[in-house]
Amino acid sequence: MVVEDDEDLRVAVAAELTGSGAAVTTAADLATADAALAARPFDCAVFDRMLPDGDALGYVHRRRQAGWVLPVLFLTARDSVADRVAGFEHGGDDYLVKPFAAAELSARVRVLGTRTTGRPTVLRVADLEVDSARRAVRRGGVLLTVSDKEFAVLEYLAVRAGEAVTRSELIEHCWDAAADPMSNVVDVVVKRLRRKLREPELIHTVRGRGYRLADPGR
């Protein structure tokens, strides 16, 4: 979730995160963000501090007091030590000052996103290793070259290892809201992943459902 009232920056941040393999929902104010956050689960939220309907600091603080655990990064031009301390004291997990490097933002969001479920940084299925922090994939100890979208799909299958994951679930978690759920984008990415992972096959087709990542033969 990216909450930023500057349209140009909001679009740029969403594009950067989407390019790194994330599915991004955006909002220009707290009310819109609150409705979206209530409607579906997220792995991380990026808030600009000063928004049209209030300071995100207060919003996050209230949500934390109610037991909210979603990782939050404050993205703001307010760069004093007092501002940074306030960000952490009110429930922020990270604080990035504008202007910022796009690659750094992606890296920080990626690390925060792994905290949501408390899952390990490195996911293992048979001889496959999916390293969420380093965005690295290894099969039998050999480093593989995968695209951001391929990594996103493989990571989500690894998180749900052993379970049947539908194409709709993959689109929801690995593409943005503009993706057509009736398209074959998931099948195309899975086909490329199977070719790169080689035999024995780890990504199994579950007829009438989608795909399952599991040990060969299971």
Question: What's the pLDDT at 128?
Answer: 94
Query: What percent of the chain stands above pLDDT 70?
Result: 92
Query: Which of 113, 144, 174 delimits the end of a domain?
Result: 113
Tell me if 218 is assigned to some domain.
no
Residue 121 has pLDDT above 80, yes or no: no
Q: Which domain holds residue 208?
A: 122-213
Q: Per residue in 24-68, pLDDT tens?
A: 999 999 999 999 998 888 889 999 999 999 999 999 999 988 888
Domain check: are 163 and 102 in the same one? no
CATH number at residue 39: 3.40.50.2300
User: What are the CA-CA distances from residue 83 to residues 23, 97, 176 (Å)?
Assistant: 29, 10, 32
Q: The whole model's pTM is what?
A: 0.61
- Quick one: 109 and 147 in the same domain? no
